[in-house]
């Protein structure tokens, strides 16, 4: 009887045929017993077969329609269309209960999908708010989404690389760890997964190791400066007060001048410590559209026009103008203090960023490795604040600053990049 378990359709057809044969056998026996003629028996049996056949066909279709409706409902759920409900062929009994269970399952799956969609929406919202580059690859291993910080890696919006493969983006996986070719030393990549629209997506989060190390160094320097500042202030305050008091009671001019000098140097050291204490503080920046021509004109008014020249190929840039001006002033002053006779300022837009380039013909940097180290300076009267301040301001604009000696001729090349719009 294996044929019974193979198919419901076969089971129904064979069962109905058997029932029909039994009915026809009994009905034929009755007609023969009643002594009907052969022709009458054939006609009656033919009519009986037609009537029973129509009835059995309706019965078969009714049974199969119940399953067909259930399959249509399940197919709707499979394609995540939870608003389609198949009407039960019977209002009561097991069939009605079966369709009711399907309806409740649809509602449950719809609620789950809604929660999954909300979670995915929150994930994408969080991605957009972060300043670190984040890339999303779909189940086909194609780039499906990224945040604005993508430009820090490829200098172009992520939409230009939509559906790109990891290989095209310079990504490779070694020992279950993603790496970015040519930039491995700078970026560390963390990987995780999430489900969106029924598909598994890979989430790659890029962490700038150099920035993290720099932040750690800055924290260490701040702690050192904080301790030194506390001790210096505690020592200088009584010395300054004592010197000022003695200056008033001094009997001769020489003593008054000496005590005044002590007091002046105490105030100078206190101011020195205060400036270092704010070396890496977060400033309250107010970026806006800055007219490049006006910016260059203001700088030209501060420096000799025979030394400072400027070129511009863009009308606007996005920055906090007072802070950006101070950065450019510091850098130009550094060039002049390095005996530069020519300083060129070039402002342009390339690859969706503002590029500010400063070149000079001074004697260059003697120690490139320690340019941004607080307290380090090669100037006789220097304090080691200027370049650290400049990098702090540029990075708070979500930009970058690079300084290097010019290779072809004497001088320095400074490259600053800024986003062209508010992030």
* Predicted TM-score (pTM) of this structure: 0.49
Phi, psi of 145 (to 5 degrees): -165, 155
What does DSSP say about strands 316-319 and 288-291: parallel, antiparallel, or unpaired?
antiparallel
In sequence order, which residues have a C-beta less than 8 Å from that of residue 124 and are 6 or more positions away? Answer: 145
> How much is the pLDDT for 184?
53
For residues 201 and 119, what is the distance between their CA atoms, to the nearest angstrom?
A: 13
Report long-range pairs for 6-15 (Cβ below 8 Å, ≥24 apart): 8/63, 8/64, 8/67, 9/64, 12/60, 12/63, 12/64, 13/60
Q: In residues, how long is the chain?
A: 423
> How much is the pLDDT for 165?
92
- What are the C-alpha distances in Å from 166 to residues 117, 123, 161, 170, 178? 26, 21, 10, 6, 10
For residues 294 and 300, what is the distance between their CA atoms, to the nearest angstrom?
A: 10
The three-class DSSP label of residue 297 is helix
> How much is the pLDDT for 215?
64
For residues 357 and 374, what is the distance between their CA atoms, to the nearest angstrom?
A: 24
For residues 238 and 246, what is the distance between their CA atoms, to the nearest angstrom?
A: 12
124 sits in the region (left: phi over 0; alpha: psi -120 to 50; else beta) called: alpha
Q: DSSP readout, 54-117?
A: HHHHHHHHHHHHHHHHHHHHHHHHHTT-TT--PPPSSSSHHHHHHHHHHHHHHHHHHHHHHHHH
For residues 121 and 115, what is the distance between their CA atoms, to the nearest angstrom?
A: 10
In sequence order, which residues have a C-beta less than 8 Å from that of residue 73 and are 6 or more positions away? Answer: 84, 85, 86, 99, 102, 103, 106
For each successive 10 residues of the chain (423 residues), what is the average pLDDT?
65 87 88 85 88 89 85 80 76 82 83 74 81 90 90 84 90 83 73 80 84 65 66 76 80 80 77 61 80 90 84 91 89 89 92 89 77 54 62 86 85 91 55
Residue 416's H or E segment, with its range, is strand 412-419
**DSSP H stretches of helix in 150-200:** 151-154
């Amino acid at each position: 009887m294996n044929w019974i378990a193979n198919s419901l359709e076969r089971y129904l057809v064979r069962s109905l045929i058997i029932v029909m044969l039994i009915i026809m056998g009994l009905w034929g026996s009755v007609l023969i017993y009643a002594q009907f003629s052969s022709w009458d028996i054939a006609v009656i049996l033919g009519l009986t077969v037609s009537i029973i056949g129509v009835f059995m066909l309706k019965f078969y279709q009714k049974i199969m329609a119940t399953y067909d409706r259930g399959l249509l409902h399940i197919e709707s759920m499979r394609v995540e269309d939870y608003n389609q409900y198949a009407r039960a062929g019977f209002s009561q009994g097991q069939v009605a209960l079966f369709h009711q269970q399907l309806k409740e399952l649809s509602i449950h799956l719809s609620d789950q999908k809604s929660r999954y969609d909300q979670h995915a929406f929150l994930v994408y919202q969080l991605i957009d708010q972060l300043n670190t580059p984040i890339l999303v690859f779909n189940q086909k291993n194609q780039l499906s989404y990224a945040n604005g910080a993508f430009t820090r890696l490829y200098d172009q919006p992520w939409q230009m690389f939509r559906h790109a493969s990891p290989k095209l983006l310079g990504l490779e996986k070694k020992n279950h760890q993603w790496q970015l070719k040519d930039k491995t030393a700078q970026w560390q990549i963390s990987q995780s997964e999430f489900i969106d629209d029924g598909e598994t997506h890979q989430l790659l989060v890029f962490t700038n190791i150099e920035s993290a190390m720099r932040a750690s160094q800055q924290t260490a320097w701040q702690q050192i400066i904080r301790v030194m500042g506390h001790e210096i202030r505690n020592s200088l305050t009584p010395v300054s007060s004592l010197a000022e008091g003695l200056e008033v009671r001094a009997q001769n001019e020489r003593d008054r001048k000496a005590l005044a000098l002590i007091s002046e140097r105490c105030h100078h050291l206190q101011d020195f410590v205060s400036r270092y204490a704010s070396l890496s503080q977060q400033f309250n920046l107010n970026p806006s559209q800055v007219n490049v021509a006006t910016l260059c004109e203001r700088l030209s008014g501060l420096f000799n026009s025979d030394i400072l020249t400027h070129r511009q190929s863009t009308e606007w840039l996005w920055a906090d103008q007072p802070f950006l001006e101070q950065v450019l002033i510091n850098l130009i002053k550094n060039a002049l203090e390095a005996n530069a006779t020519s300083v060129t300022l070039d402002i342009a837009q390339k690859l969706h960023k503002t590029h500010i380039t400063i070149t000079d013909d001074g004697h260059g940097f003697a120690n490139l490795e320690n340019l941004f180290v607080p307290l380090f300076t090669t100037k006789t009267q220097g304090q080691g604040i200027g370049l650290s301040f400049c990098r702090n301001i540029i990075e708070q604009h979500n930009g970058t600053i690079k300084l290097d000696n010019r290779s072809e001729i004497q001088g320095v090349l400074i490259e600053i990049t800024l986003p062209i719009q508010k992030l």
